[in-house]
Structure 1
Amino acid sequence: MATSLKIDDEMKGRIQALAQQRDRSPHWIMREAIRQYVDREEAREGFRREALDAWTAYCETGRHLTADETVAWLEG
């Protein structure tokens, strides 16, 4: 899938400078930046979903652990 990306001249220059420093192509730098961003945002969304699921479970059951109980369990 071919996609074009419009960036301002300042950012273009920064990418080109970084690419030269890293001995990579500007294309590689942009792809890597996008990959890292998507990975990070997917993980963040997963954590958010887990937190909402945990909150829903707590609201439905009332079951929970105190901080002291959690520490004791982790140390046990």
Structure 2
Amino acid sequence: MATSVKLDDAMMARIRNLAGIRQRSPHWLMREAIAQYVEREERREALNRETALAWDEYQATGKHVTSEAVNEWLNTWGEVDERPAPGCE
């Protein structure tokens, strides 16, 4: 599917310059930039959904793990006496 994006001359010059440095076409560079942006934003939306679900669950149950418990657990990572992850209270 073909589409078009209107860019000002300065931005197009920057894209052409970077494309030359990367030894890629401006078209390739723009497609790659869009693909990376969409992937990043999809991950952000997934995290937002997970956060909302976690908040809903907390409000319904009151179960949580304190930051202190998590920090104590993380401080044992890689140690001989590494602890299991703390549970919700």
Whole-angstrom distance in 2 between the partners of 1:69 and 1:13: 52
Structure 2 partner of 1:26: 26
Secondary structure of the 1:4 match is coil
Structure-2-length-normalised TM-score: 0.79
| Structure 1 residue 5: Cα displacement | 1.1
Give 5+ residue unaligned stretches, structure 2.
Answer: 77-82, 84-89
Whole-angstrom distance in 1 between the partners of 2:69 and 2:21: 51
| Structure 1 residue 71: Cα displacement | 3.3
Whole-angstrom distance in 2 between the partners of 1:23 and 1:68: 50
| Structure 1 residue 23: Cα displacement | 0.5
Give 5+ residue unaligned stretches, structure 1.
Answer: none
Q: Which amino acid aligns with 2:20?
A: Q
Q: Percent identity?
A: 55
Structure 2 partner of 1:66: 66
Whole-angstrom distance in 1 between the partners of 2:39 and 2:50: 17
Structure with higher Rg: it is 2
RMSD of aligned alpha carbons:
1.2
Whole-angstrom distance in 2 between the partners of 1:71 and 1:10: 48
Of structures 1 and 2, the one scoring higher in RCO (CA 8 A, sep 6+) is: 2
Whole-angstrom distance in 1 between the partners of 2:68 and 2:36: 36
Task: Give the number of aligned pairs.
Answer: 76
Structure 1 partner of 2:39: 39
Secondary structure of the 1:6 match is coil
Secondary structure of the 1:50 match is helix
Secondary structure of the 2:4 match is coil
